[in-house]
Amino acid sequence: MEVPEINAAVAFGLLTMVSWGIWIVVGNAAAESIDPTTAAAISYVVAAILAVLYVLVSGASLTITPRGGALAGVAGVFAGIGFVSMYIGLSRGSTTVVSTLGAMYFVVAAFIGIAVLGDELTTTRAAGLLLAVVAVILVAQ
pLDDT in tens, 16-49: 889 988 998 999 999 999 999 999 999 999 999 9
Q: What is the rounded distance in angstroms from the CA atom of residue 46 to the CA atom of residue 16?
A: 16
Domain positions in the chain are 8-103
| Count of beta carbons in the 10 Å neighbourhood of residue 41 | 15
Q: What is the rounded distance in angstroms from the CA atom of residue 132 to the CA atom of residue 64?
A: 36
Q: What is the rounded distance in angstroms from the CA atom of residue 7 to the CA atom of residue 71?
A: 28
Note if the pTM is more than 0.85.
no
Per-residue pLDDT at 1 exceeds 70 = no
Q: What is the rounded distance in angstroms from the CA atom of residue 57 to the CA atom of residue 53?
A: 6
| Count of beta carbons in the 10 Å neighbourhood of residue 87 | 26
